[in-house]
Amino acid sequence: MHILVFGAGPLGSLLAARLQQGGLDVTLLARGQRLEDLKQHGITLKSWSSGEEEAVSVPLIDQLDPHDIYDLVLVVMRKNSALKALPSLAANRSRQVLFLMNNAAGPQALMDALGGERVLIGFAGMAGYRDGGSIVYLNAEPERPGVIYLGEPGGGSTPRLEETAALLARGRYIQPQIEAHMDAWSKYHVALLFPSLAPALYLCGNDNCRMARTRDALVLAWRAMGEGFRVLKKLGYPFTPGAFKKFLLMPEPVAVAFLGKLIANPRMEVAMVRHAEVIRDEITQLNDEFMQLVEQSGEFTPTIQFLINQYKNRARSLPEGSRSIRLRWAGVLIPVLLLICLGLLIAMLV
């Protein structure tokens, strides 16, 4: 089985290396200075958690020839870049093309360009950034396998999807996971990050520790997530993963405190901060796509609109530690009052 990884950014490089180490026949498409660096040094990986470094040599190409047929093409790049690559992918007749990227607009543009029988969709649950000539990465290591979520554009599972998952499972420290509602999964993932966490992080100078100390940013991010989830629910997209439903049921003060702890985790520097610093074009693309979903739903999303406008207009950062937005305590007070009433009733009966 011959695999092409289309895109030599941090995740494409990491994925190509891990598949090659698993004994698969892998080629990596790279261009410009990145191609020259890979020719000289190969793929240099550095674990963020352990600091361990390794070098992996993978065959390279700089363009996709229409006559070069691969069993599987993995498109690992930003959404806006993937759209620009569609003509090249359409001209090539490789059997399956798996798009691993954030996507709020759905798979229709991909299917229109390549044909539905060739398109699979998914997301690489890994993170990394370039540090000189090295790729510093999270996951895809013994203690934390890199999860690749993948699914059919129309949902469900098929033999070709299962075959693709089994092939990817041969990669070192790679763990494929088939999602029955991959399009919905992608949309909820975008709602979680791009019209909410990403612009709130921007308002804290792209500093996760500063954001963790700035309650107003956490409140804005939390409320934007809730608005985004309500948009998707109204449009009929099932909650996926199911944990999102439990997340929405948390009272706001509890959720904001939880979010602050999560954002302060040092791993967020790799998982979020380093990524957000260099993908402004993708954030804008995904937010534009999500606002189309907002318009379709007719849902009122004041927090999302505020955050996106602040991001687009490059607004000044929030004062560090600001706490001017009042928390909504209703989700806490009502259960407490019910418990008090229940306790009084029990006391009267006893």
Helix (H) or strand (E) holding 26: strand 25-29
- Say if residue 68 is exposed, middle or buried (CB neighbours under 10 Å; 0-12, 13-18, 19+): middle
Q: Which one, of 14, 316, 307, lies nearest residue 144 by Cα?
A: 14
Paired with 174 in beta bridges are 146
Cβ atoms of 89 and 114 closer than 8 Å: yes
CB atoms within 10 A of CB 342: 10
Share of the chain above pLDDT 90, in %: 86
What is the mean pLDDT for each group of 10 consecutive residues in the chain (350 residues)?
Answer: 95 98 97 94 95 96 95 96 96 96 97 97 95 93 96 97 98 98 97 96 96 98 96 95 79 94 94 86 96 98 98 96 93 48 48
End-to-end CA gap in the chain:
74
Summarised one tens digit per residue, pLDDT across range 36-90 is 999 999 999 999 999 999 999 999 999 999 999 999 999 999 999 999 999 999 9
Q: Report the alpha-carbon distance of residue 83 to residue 87 in Å, rounded.
A: 8
DSSP code per residue over 115-183: -TTTEEEEEEE-EEEEETTEEEEESSBTTB-EEEEEE-TTSS--HHHHHHHHHHTTSTTEEEEE-TTHH
Task: Return d(Cα 329, Cα 251) in angstroms, integer.
Answer: 7
Which residue in this structure is represented by tokens 């763990």?
175
Phi, psi angle pair for 31, to nearest 5°: -140, 165
Contacts (Cβ under 8 Å, ≥6 apart) of 69: 92, 93, 94, 95
The SS3 call for residue 62 is coil
What are the start-end ranges of the H helices in the chain? 10-21, 32-41, 79-91, 108-114, 159-168, 182-192, 198-202, 208-213, 215-234, 243-249, 252-264, 268, 274-276, 280-297, 302-312, 330-349
Task: Tell me if residue 221 falls in helix, strand or coil.
Answer: helix
Q: Where in the chain is the domain with CATH 3.40.50.720?
A: 2-180
d(CA 128, CA 123): 14
pTM for this one? 0.92
Smallest Cα–Cα separation from 328: which of 224, 221, 235, 252? 252
Instruction: Tell me what pLDDT residue 346 has.
Output: 53
CATH number of 2-180: 3.40.50.720
